[in-house]
Chain A
């Protein structure tokens, strides 16, 4: 089965609003969680990552929340801008160097 799941294939948010992207994972041994961003016709690039020893990490307009008991993590983007429009891939991994990606959520920020 799929190790990392993004249940929402798409999300539309008004400019200035908060975008909330969600991700669920299967393996409770995972201890590394990340979000990658992908523009059309470009490759994914790392946005933000967090280890399991924290439940929250902020970086500018981005915040990752980690809920280990629920095997869930999310990415919050405050003051969303049209330039944030992209596909967001969540990823998680454990003891080896392998990480598992979700299928992605297409975020559209409308001006």
Chain B
């Protein structure tokens, strides 16, 4: 059963520490998204990649966040240094798209990484 795999599922860290979240997209998918979910803001798009190339990371605080895809089977989201306001659930999602506007991009979410920064 193909699914998006995220690690870690839960992470508690102290302010100032580096946090790295990892995502294995569904094999064959060419688009990867990172979302952050909080009660106040809902689901916010942080960054997305197509064919491993970053297409948009305008939703991501550049000074402390970075997202990469070292290869087609791994996407990473790094926070350095972490702050309490970064506490949220971080979701990775993957899909396959040719980019057509009416394609109705279908994406599949992982179970999320629950981050708490104290």
- A and B found bound together: no
Q: List residues of A whose CB falls within 8 A of some B CB.
A: none
